[in-house]
Amino acid sequence: MEAYIKAISYYLPERVVTNEELVQEFPEWSVEKVAQKIGVDSRHLAADNETAGDMAEKAARKLFEEYQVDPKSIDFLMLCTQSPDYFLPSTACILQDRLGIPTSAGAFDYNLGCSGCVYGMAMAKGLISAGIAKTILLLTAETYNKYLHPLDKSNRSIFGDGAAACLISTDGFAKIGEFSLGTDGSGANNLIVKSGSARCKNVTGKFEEDEEGHIWYDDYLYMNGGKIFNFTLEAVPIMMNEILEKNHLQREQIDYYVFHQANKFMLDTIRKVCVIPKDKFYINLSTTGNTVSSTVFIGLKDCIESGNIKSGDKVMITGFGVGLSWGGTILLF
């Protein structure tokens, strides 16, 4: 049985931090430098008492309202997050109750970042193909800003908080194609929060300087930008070719590309290396920043509403990053 996207919505927190506010804390930077290199003018931050679960609930309720979806029609719920409300239970179980989804529905969290929405779509397609579920609510939500050190100007300029909701069913407006997925756990330390979980439960207060001159704090999110950049340039071109091959398509048949919105410099480089026409390639981090697992859904929603994606289009989507992990597929609109 085929799987389709039936609805997409997203939620961004009320609090907005502009580049002007950031450079007041880091006067060695400029508003123009942040905008040009990273492509972000402002980003949304979750409130102190606002969790990934809260944001996922708001994204889901927006989807219900916008598409007149009855929560009782949902028979499976998945939440992609690396900032769950609790170690246990799964935040998805809590959301099942809060959203009024039947107790007969399956629900679970899965811990994945920038490729998370693609992996969720692959799992949803598998559940539908196996006859396990017919209407799946896939939620993505992240509050990375709660993991960032106050002096980490690089990551504070890149990341924004947000959540998205995608309904995947046996019918809809975009047919989900075949997937290319990959993992390289040898690069796990290149994007990590070391303390706070089972391997290192207590905060350590330790930090060191990496080869790029960035401070690696055990107790906060660390990203080795150079190594993540190099990994992306190696993995994405291979993944693109695999996606085309698995979906029996040629590059010239792709109408539009919506890739994970990591940062403008990385996306510009990927586009050039992969020889993708600029008018077919989505880049829009300006008012959201990098929202991790939600960037692709936010991009798809915006492109549908703006008319950049229309009926009959073949759209390639990809995610890549923390894990290290990557994935992509074709959507047939």
Domain match, 143 and 185 both:
no
Residue 253 DSSP one-character state:
G
Report whether 97 contacts 156 (CB < 8 A).
no
Q: Is residue 216 part of a domain?
A: no
For residue 263, what are the domain limits? 180-190+224-332
Given this model, what pLDDT does residue 96 score? 98
Identity (one letter) of the amino acid at 324? L
Q: Token pair for residue 63?
A: 């989807």
Q: Token pair for residue 60?
A: 């889901």
Given the residues 19, 224, 247, 290, the one annotated as active site: 290
Q: Is residue 217 part of a domain?
A: no
Identity (one letter) of the amino acid at 265? F
Our CA angle for 57, 124, 129, nearest 5°, is: 150
Domain match, 99 and 244 both:
no
Domain match, 127 and 184 both:
no
CA–CA separation, 37 and 30 (whole Å): 11
Domain match, 85 and 140 both:
yes
Domain match, 86 and 26 both:
yes
Residue 189 DSSP one-character state:
G
Q: Is residue 204 part of a domain?
A: no
The per-residue pLDDT string of the chain (333 residues; one tens digit each, 9 = 90 and over) reads 999 999 999 999 999 999 999 989 988 888 888 888 889 999 999 999 999 999 999 999 999 999 999 999 999 999 999 999 999 999 999 999 999 999 999 999 999 999 999 999 999 999 999 999 999 999 999 999 999 999 998 999 999 999 999 999 999 999 999 999 999 999 999 999 998 898 899 999 888 888 877 788 888 999 998 999 999 999 999 999 999 999 999 999 999 999 999 999 999 999 999 999 999 999 999 999 999 999 999 999 999 999 999 999 999 999 999 999 999 999 999
Given this model, what pLDDT does residue 287 score? 95
Identity (one letter) of the amino acid at 84? P
Q: Is residue 219 part of a domain?
A: no
Domain match, 186 and 142 both:
no
Domain match, 160 and 239 both:
no
Q: Of the residues 172, 206, 237, which one is the last residue of a structural domain? A: 172
Domain match, 184 and 161 both:
no
Domain match, 185 and 141 both:
no
Given this model, what pLDDT does residue 301 score? 98
Is residue 248 annotated as part of the catalytic site, yes or no? no
How does DSSP assign 278-309, residue by residue? Answer: GGGB----TTT-B-GGGHHHHHHHHHHHHTSS
Domain match, 236 and 280 both:
yes
Given this model, what pLDDT does residue 91 score? 98
Residue whose structure tokens are 């080795």: 224
Domain match, 297 and 319 both:
yes
Report whether 316 contacts 240 (CB < 8 A).
yes
Give the phi and the psi of residue 227 in degrees, each rounded to 5.
Answer: -70, -35
Domain count within the chain: 2
Query: Whole-angstrom distance between the N-terminal and C-terminal Cα of the chain?
Result: 17
CATH of the domain at 302: 3.40.47.10
- Count, residues in the chain: 333
Given the residues 114, 117, 166, 303, the one annotated as active site: 114
CB-facing half-sphere around the CA of 69: CA atoms within 13 A: 29
Q: Is residue 277 part of a domain?
A: yes
Our CA angle for 246, 251, 253, nearest 5°, is: 95
Residue whose structure tokens are 């990557």: 326
Residue whose structure tokens are 């703006």: 306
Domain match, 149 and 228 both:
no
Q: Is residue 111 part of a domain?
A: yes
Q: Of the residues 141, 172, 203, which one is the last residue of a structural domain? A: 172
Is residue 44 annotated as part of the catalytic site, yes or no? no
Given this model, what pLDDT does residue 27 score? 83
Q: Is residue 209 part of a domain?
A: no
Crossing angle of helices 225-246 and 264-273, in 10° steps, is 40
Q: Is residue 201 part of a domain?
A: no
Given the residues 19, 166, 247, 260, the one annotated as active site: 260
Is residue 260 annotated as part of the catalytic site, yes or no? yes
